């Protein structure tokens, strides 16, 4: 998703680990898991990679 890539590039000041940055973006898109998942959830998950998976694990997502 182009939007996610733009957000990560915008926030990347090259002093933060990319995985941490991806995790922060995942927290914005996925929240605490209590609400509905965003459209194209699987695509966001794939684009956010390891950081997205870490966030989903942190909020106890199982799926």
9: three-class secondary structure by DSSP: helix
**Backbone angles phi and psi of 59, in degrees to 5:** -95, 15
CA 4 to chain centre: 8
| 51 token code pair | 């950081």
- pLDDT of 1 > 60? The answer is no
pLDDT in tens, 3-25: 667 776 776 666 778 888 889 99
Return the DSSP state at 36: P
Q: How many CB atoms lie within 10 A of CB 41?
A: 14
Q: pTM of the prediction?
A: 0.74
């Amino acid at each position: 998703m182009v939007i996610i890539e733009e957000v990560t590039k915008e926030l990347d000041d090259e002093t933060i680990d990319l995985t941490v940055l991806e995790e922060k973006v995942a927290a914005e898109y996925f929240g605490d898991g209590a609400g509905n998942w965003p459209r194209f959830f699987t695509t966001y998950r794939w684009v956010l990679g390891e950081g997205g998976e870490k966030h989903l694990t942190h909020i106890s997502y199982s799926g």
